[in-house]
Amino acid sequence: MNRQFSSWGCAAALSVLLAVTASVALTTATARATGTITIVQADGRTNVYDDVEIKVIHNALYMTSADGKGTLLINRAACNQQEKILVCYVTSATLVQAGETSPLDFKRGTLYVNSTDDPQTLVLSTTKIAPHSVILSITTKKGTSVNLSGRIDKVVK
Alpha carbons 17 and 65: distance in angstroms, whole number: 12
- The larger pLDDT score, comparing residue 145 to residue 29, is at 145
pLDDT at residue 85 in the model: 95
Alpha carbons 48 and 29: distance in angstroms, whole number: 26
pLDDT digit string (tens) for 27-42?
334 456 689 999 899 9
| Mean pLDDT value of segment 57-84 | 90
pTM for this prediction:
0.77
Tell how strand 100-103 and strand 85-97 pair up. antiparallel
What is the sign, positive or negative, of the torsion defined by CA atoms of 28, 117, 20, 53? positive
Contact of 131 with 114, CB cutoff 8 Å: yes
pLDDT at residue 146 in the model: 86
CA 77, 137, 73 angle in degrees (round to 5)?
50
